[in-house]
Structure 1
């Protein structure tokens, strides 16, 4: 119990950030739909420069978990169609990098250091370092794992930045395409709140979740077993 208390105390700031990054997007979802519905005609008349500004701003707001990534993609699909992919995909990647650096700046490596005494936790972090692109991609492909929370966990694990960016692009691409397609297919903007009731969407989301779980399980199970065996051999020697 004392170890748990000490662990929580050491990482209080990191856990606070994690909680905020998970809750804020949920709170703002309904507000975004309401604003988009109220100003739909004005948004439809946006010139190109306004959309460039929109994607720059959303890169920052998504990184800080002020706007949900899925809703940004849905809105993009609704207002811009497939052309919106050229804005929302770079926006996602930039948001990931901003969030990654923000978490690292706040955490200062304390979380990873606090896990060094736990063999399984150390094995998990080492696995991330050995297969970073696979880990990031399988983490990002799941629609149920909050965007900012996945960035938080990967930054805690000290994932190399280059591999983090590549993995983020690969992992976010399928769910982004699906979200833009769904947004493009919506007739009335208020239907954005009911997209999860669509059977096809539910099947696609379920498929992406399965890919994420199976992929992460396979990568982690193999590497963690190797890490633990290597750790035991070191202890015996």
Structure 2
């Protein structure tokens, strides 16, 4: 495969990881509204199957993780927290493994040369745990795209997994709590004031992540 075709393919992969979750979350939300008792009627085996499917839903960028956490809170409340975290962690490994297969060498080299970002990318690789943690903490970095970019950069698996899981916990807890407070998805949509405190918390996490990334960027790799 030529260099230009590889760059195009890898770029389309990132776009897919960013756009597809938005479309699929609309379908999942609509199904939950139309079938409110469907998910709560699962037996033990069906619950296991659901969470296995959830790994692929999040890992393959079929639904945003924040939306899925709200959905989990709405359906199961806090009892859904543990399986959600486990599914999230495995999904991150799935996304990482897929991106490693993709390699992303051509795209990373383009960024290094075209945008003169070699020093910055070396910095991310050298301080990968902190960068992954802050990227997960920030509400503006999509789960699947972060998986892909960190894998493309060759971030060690252990640092990616631990840093990413810890960084995602605050966002996940806030989203799940919001879901538990919604009497229905329709009520949540009709009363946006329920999300205001979450917006404040998201801004706080964004501020922390931006400051942290600024400090890291100033350090030498």
Tell whether the structures are fold-level matches, with TM greater than 0.5: yes
1:57 aligns with 2:53: yes
Distance 1:89 1:192, change over 3 A: farther
Q: Give 5+ residue unaligned stretches, structure 1.
A: 1-5, 228-237
Matches within 5 A, 1:51-200: 51-107=47-103, 109-115=105-111, 117=113, 120-193=116-189, 197=193, 198-200=195-197
Distance 2:126 2:32 in 1: 43
Greater shift, 155-164 or 39-48, is seen at 39-48
| 2:213 equivalent among 212, 216, 233 | 216
Relative to the length of structure 2, the TM-score reads: 0.89
Distance 1:29 1:119 in 2: 33
| 1:201 equivalent among 183, 190, 198 | 198
Relative to the length of structure 1, the TM-score reads: 0.84
1:194 Cα deviation from its structure 2 partner: 6.2
After superposition, give the CA deviation of every residue in 1:89-125 in whole Å (9 maximum; x if it has no partner).
1111111111111112123533334455579522222
Distance 1:126 1:188 in 2: 46
| 2:29 equivalent among 28, 33, 39 | 33
Distance 1:210 1:107, change over 3 A: same
Q: Which residue of 2 aligns with 1:233?
A: none
1:192 Cα deviation from its structure 2 partner: 4.9
Misfit runs of 4+, over 6 Å: none
After superposition, give the CA deviation of every residue in 1:144-186 in whole Å (9 maximum; x if it has no partner).
2211111121112111111000111111110011111111111
SS state at 2:183 partner: coil
Aligned-residue RMSD, C-alpha: 2.2
Distance 1:214 1:144 in 2: 14
Distance 1:218 1:8 in 2: 34
Distance 1:119 1:76 in 2: 40
1:140 Cα deviation from its structure 2 partner: 0.6
Greater shift, 108-117 or 164-173, is seen at 108-117
